[in-house]
Every structure is written in C-alpha cells, then in structure tokens.
Structure 1
Amino acid sequence: MACRSCRRQLVLLTRQANAIAEIQSAAALRHPSLQTADPRCLRIDQRRSFANTPRQSGVRDSIARFFQRSAEPYRVVQATEEIYKTCAREALYTIPEKDRRAGTITKTEEGEDIGEGKTMWHEDFHLPPTFSTWSQVTMLHMYLVFARLRNLDRDAARSWQQQLVDHFFFDAEEKMDLTHGISSRGLRQRYLKDMFIQWRGVIAAYDEGVIKGDPVLAAAVWRNVFKAREDVDVRALAAVVSWMRLCLKMLDQIPDESLYYQASAVFKWRAKNELALVDKAARELEGQFVRDIPPIQKVPV
C-alpha cells in the first residue's frame, strides 16, 4: 500500500505517460510513417529525406514499444482509480465537524461512529452511515469488477486487481485518519489487516454464491452487508442479489479493450431499481398461490 507522497509521485508519472501517448497519437495522425515519441526527432525526420529507411523505422518502433511498456502500468493505475472512485462513492458518509469537536458523535452498539449519509444504501436499504457500511458496500462493487477482470490475461488481471485493492486500502486508511481521527499508524495498520481478511472472505463468499445459486448469494450479502441482522428486509436482499447478477452480465458484455472506461457506467443502474422487479415477482407468486388454493366445500350437516 503506497504512502501519500508515493501516490503524488504516481499521479505525476501517470500524467507524463498520458502526455507521451498524446504526442505519439498526434505524430501518427500527421505522419503515419513516424512512430517516435520524441518531437525533436520528428522535426529532424521532416528535414531529411532518409526518414523512412528500414533502420530509422526499426529504431522508431523500438522506442514506441519501450514507451508503451513503460506507460502501461501508469495507465492501469489511472483506469483503476476511476473505477474505484465509482465503487467508493456508492455509500459515502460524513462525520459532522461540530460533533467531532464536541465529542458527541453517535455510536452503534458495536461502538462505530455514525455519520450522515444520503445514498441509496442508507435511505432505501436502511443501512447506518458508518465506516463498516461504506467498506462492505465498496467491497461489494469491487468484487463485481474483480469477477470481470478474471477474463483478462493472467498478468493483466493481477495488475488491475492489485491496483484496485491498493486504491481501496489507501482510501480506507485516509478515512480512518481524517474522518475518524485515528492518528496512530500502528492502530490503523491493525484495522487494515482485519479488513484485508474480510476482503478475502468476501471474495470467497460471493464466489460461492454466484456458483451455487441465489439463496447462497443472498446469505453472503446478508452476513457481510447487512451484518446478519434478524430484522433485515428480505426485499432488499432479493434486490441486491438481482442487481449483482445484472451487473455481472453487463460487465461480461463489455469488450476487454473498453473495460477501463465503460466499467463504471454499469453501476449507474442502482440496486434499488430491482425492488420493483422483486415486488412484481412477489405479486405474481402470491396470485399463483391464491389460484392454487382449492375452494372451500360446504360439509353437509
């Protein structure tokens, strides 16, 4: 997991890699035969008549491949960061500054800070605006992306998955520090280790549910997102499971080369929209049950 200074340096390197890619694209559009990344070489080649010799073309191709290999990791970092931001904003919450200063933050029975949240997960699914809710909902979205990334080449999949996890844990540590005032780095690291164990368990539980069927998947969502509450709304569980299946299907339909900028668009379809589908199926099932009940026959006296 990178520190803040390393993250800033990574952002600068990403911008530099993007600038190199733009120079290459512009040069290719003006002169398709020129594939070098150095603008000075472009000017030299324009003045000389032997710019398109086999030797010159080989050097340019080697330079282009070198810059492409060097820039690829930074492009992955930028792409996964955009995807992660979409996952992380789904259950965002805030801790009021006045409550933090006065020490009057409301807490759950487990001792978690309760903040203010107005997302779908808080209002429609009645989850408390806490760090635990945020982390579980974020991991739920990340899992859906993880499942799709497995279709990539093995090395590419590992690179994408690792970067996505790094974004999550860096953001989680920052929330512990800035939002909840956990200034001890050792304590934050202990919490992060526990979260990593939870993350591995989430992957295993959701994988099992996807394979074995909706009841097992609903049980996994109930244990992780809804903390195994006895008063959970089964409609919400059914809606989340239906939404997960739909997202996995839409992600599977995205080509590999378009995944980095289309994956976030999948989550524009909210899980609460599936409540209407759940209610419709429940009404149809209820009607079928009523039709199947045999009529009451009068018993002769």
Structure 2
Amino acid sequence: MLSRSSRRLVVSSPSIIIRRRISTTKVAQFESKNSILDKYKKPEEVESPSQLAADSTLPNIKQDLKTNPRQASSKGPFLSDNSIENDPTYKMSGWKQSIGQQVIKLFQIDMDKSRSGPVAGSVYFGECKRQGLYYPDEPLSDTAKFYYETLKLPQSFNQQFQISILHYWILSVRMRALPFKYGKDYQQKLVDRLFRDLELRMAQELKINSNRIIEGYLKDYHTQLLGSVLTYDEGLVTDDITLASALWRNVFNGNPNVDIRHIEALLVYVRSQLYVLSKMTDREFGFGKFKFVPPNQTVKPITKAQEQELIEKAKQEFATSDLPSQKSVLSLDE
C-alpha cells in the first residue's frame, strides 16, 4: 500500500488562478494570455466543446496501445457503502444534530477546516471520478460519451485516471486561491481520496490480488499526477499552445494521429471550467457548490453587473446559515 507521505502533492511554484487574487500575504494575479475563449468576440459565436469536436470530419485513426487494456470485471460502489455519503436522502436524526451543533460551539471547531474532508474528499472527488467513468457492457454517461465517442479516447482504466487527474487539477487551481491553510487541506483531502479509490478499484474491479503490484501501480499513478499538474500549471501561466500540448501528452496519450479539433474542444472545455470557477466566491466553492459544466453546454462570458448579481445571490443564500456547523470565514465577495 502506498504510504500517505508519498501520496502528498507538493506544489513548490506560486499559486496561480485565472483572474483571482491569491489569498496569501504575497499577492499574485494571472490574466489569461491568448485564451482560446478570447477568439469568440460575440457570445453567440461560442460553441460547446462537444459541438466543436463534432464539427471535424477527419477520419479517426485508432491509437495503437501496444497491449489490450485490462477491463473491470465487476462494479464497486461509486463512492462507498456508507449511507451518509452514498444516500442523497440520508438525514441525521434531530438529537444527533443537536449534540453535534453543541460540540462545535463548545470547542469552537474550525468548520472551514473540518468541511474540507466531506467537500473535497467526497463531493469534489465524486465530480472528478464520474467524468470519465465507464464499465464494460454498460451504457456510457453523457460526459463519458464526450471522451470515448466524441474525442475517440481509448476505453481503459488508465484513461479514466488521466481524465480524473485533469479534473483534479482544474479544482486544485481554484483551491489554491482559497486562504492557504484551507486550500492545502482541500487539495490533500481530494488527492488522498483519489488514490484510496484507485487502490480499492484495482483490488475489487480489476481483481489484482498482489499488494506489491497495486503499490507499484499507485507509485506510477502518483508520478503521472505530479507530471500532469506541472505541465498543466505551465500551460495556465503561459498560453493555450502550451496548455494544449499538455492536454495532448496527458489526456490524448501523445497520439501522433490525434484530431487537432478534438484538442481544441478539450481546451475550450478546460478554459470554460476555469472561467466558471473564477466567478464563484470562496464560500460557495468551499461549501461544494461547484459542478463541472457538461461538455455539451456552452459557457458564455458575463458582465461585471452580472458578476455582482451572482455575488449578491450568494450572500442571500448564506444569510440564513447561522448554525455552528454552517459558520465560515471564507469570503462572499471574491
């Protein structure tokens, strides 16, 4: 089993995010350079990533993976068997809630820190996992169709992980804009859950019985994660050519016959997600309000007035959140 310390994602470079100030004493700010979204001068010109990819008429050349990918022979729970996490209708009994609120108030528990576990390690983990998830002989979800049918990516366990890494990185960009002591917890809880899930799925679904083999795969995946995050960060702080190159190497497996229109579609998808995240307040994001925009939907730029309207709506939503467990110091203004 991969040790906890070896799974930790260490980011030594400055934290950077699109059009957001970094919540540290040393302020940095990133303005997207030559962003692919900027080429659409009018909102009506913007196409969804799915439509962009579907516009291509080039013939598909299947990538030679050298070996046939190992496929899942069974299906495990999406999150877990725990009713609190897996049952959306679950509700804690009144007396348990009351005791919990009193404990939080009595010991002055920092709920923003405590909330990082269930939000990043469950809600946002689920968002990352579901995007490229598939099982043999089961219908593909709409998001999985985008990757495996529209973008023509190979259906493999490794490919699922590469898609999860991409979505982890998108979320980590926003997490790094939270106050540092909270942002690092959100990142760590998410990456820990990703690798715990990998470990379970390799044993339960791929039927790998050797702990030594599983540990070797986990180390390889950890290396892939670090390399991917580094290349995506480089693309974020430079230009879309560099980011597209990183997507080609990681998500498209360096396929020499890839359709460039497909890379453009995924690039638009990534930039769209980052744009939506840049318009969310810290409080909304910290409470798990973000969901990835489906690739068949279009993200259009909003005005300053519309952005302010979203902030006011967020303030109204949280105005009645006065229970001890709902307390937060995360900003509602940025």
Q: TM-score, normalised by structure 1?
A: 0.62
**Equivalent AA in structure 2 for residue 179 of structure 1:** E
Number of aligned residues: 213
Matched, 1:79 2:144: no
8 Å Cα contact 1:95/1:179 also seen in 2: no
Q: Deviations 1:87-108 (Å, cap 9, x if unpaired)? A: 1111112145xxxxxxxxxxxx
Q: Deviations 1:228-254 (Å, cap 9, x if unpaired)? A: 101111111011111211211110111
Deviation at 1:19, TM superposition (A): 7.3
Deviation at 1:133, TM superposition (A): 0.9
Within 5 Å, give how 1:54-93 maps onto structure 2. Answer: 64=105, 66=107, 68-69=109-110, 73-80=113-120, 81-93=122-134
Matched, 1:94 2:119: no
User: In the alignment, what sits opposite 2:160?
Assistant: 134
SS at 1:119 equivalent: helix
8 Å Cα contact 2:131/2:163 also seen in 1: yes
Matched, 1:159 2:199: no
SS at 2:252 equivalent: coil
- Let me know the Cα RMSD of the aligned residues: 3.3
Deviation at 1:73, TM superposition (A): 4.8
Within 5 Å, give how 1:1-301 maps onto structure 2. Answer: 22-23=97-98, 37=102, 64=105, 66=107, 68-69=109-110, 73-80=113-120, 81-95=122-136, 117=140, 119-259=145-285, 260-264=287-291, 267-270=292-295, 273=297
The structure in which a higher percent of residues are helix is 1
Deviation at 1:178, TM superposition (A): 1.6
Deviation at 1:119, TM superposition (A): 2.7
> Residues 91 and 19 (structure 1 numbering): CA distance in 2 closer, same or farther, change over 3 Å?
farther
**Equivalent AA in structure 2 for residue 254 of structure 1:** M
8 Å Cα contact 2:112/2:182 also seen in 1: no
> Residues 200 and 116 (structure 1 numbering): CA distance in 2 closer, same or farther, change over 3 Å?
farther
List 4+ stretches of structure 1 deviating above 2 A: 15-25, 71-75, 115-119
> Residues 195 and 132 (structure 1 numbering): CA distance in 2 closer, same or farther, change over 3 Å?
same
8 Å Cα contact 1:143/1:203 also seen in 2: yes
> Does 1 or 2 have the higher relative contact order (CA < 8 Å, sep 6+)?
2
**Equivalent AA in structure 2 for residue 86 of structure 1:** E
8 Å Cα contact 1:145/1:263 also seen in 2: no
C-alpha distance in 2 between matches for 1:129 and 1:116: 13
Deviation at 1:268, TM superposition (A): 2.7
C-alpha distance in 2 between matches for 1:86 and 1:249: 17
8 Å Cα contact 2:116/2:189 also seen in 1: yes
Unaligned runs of 5+ in 2: 5-79, 299-334
SS at 1:167 equivalent: helix
Deviation at 1:180, TM superposition (A): 1.1
Q: Deviations 1:25-80 (Å, cap 9, x if unpaired)? A: 9xxxxxxxxxx717xxxxxxxxxxxxxxxxxxxxxxxx6151533x6554321111
C-alpha distance in 2 between matches for 1:83 and 1:192: 21
C-alpha distance in 1 between matches for 2:223 and 2:272: 27
> Residues 251 and 223 (structure 1 numbering): CA distance in 2 closer, same or farther, change over 3 Å?
same
Q: Which has the larger radius of gyration?
A: 1
Identity %: 26
Deviation at 1:152, TM superposition (A): 1.0
> Residues 18 and 137 (structure 1 numbering): CA distance in 2 closer, same or farther, change over 3 Å?
farther
User: In the alignment, what sits opposite 2:17?
Assistant: none
Deviation at 1:273, TM superposition (A): 4.9
Deviation at 1:177, TM superposition (A): 1.1
Q: TM-score, normalised by structure 2?
A: 0.57
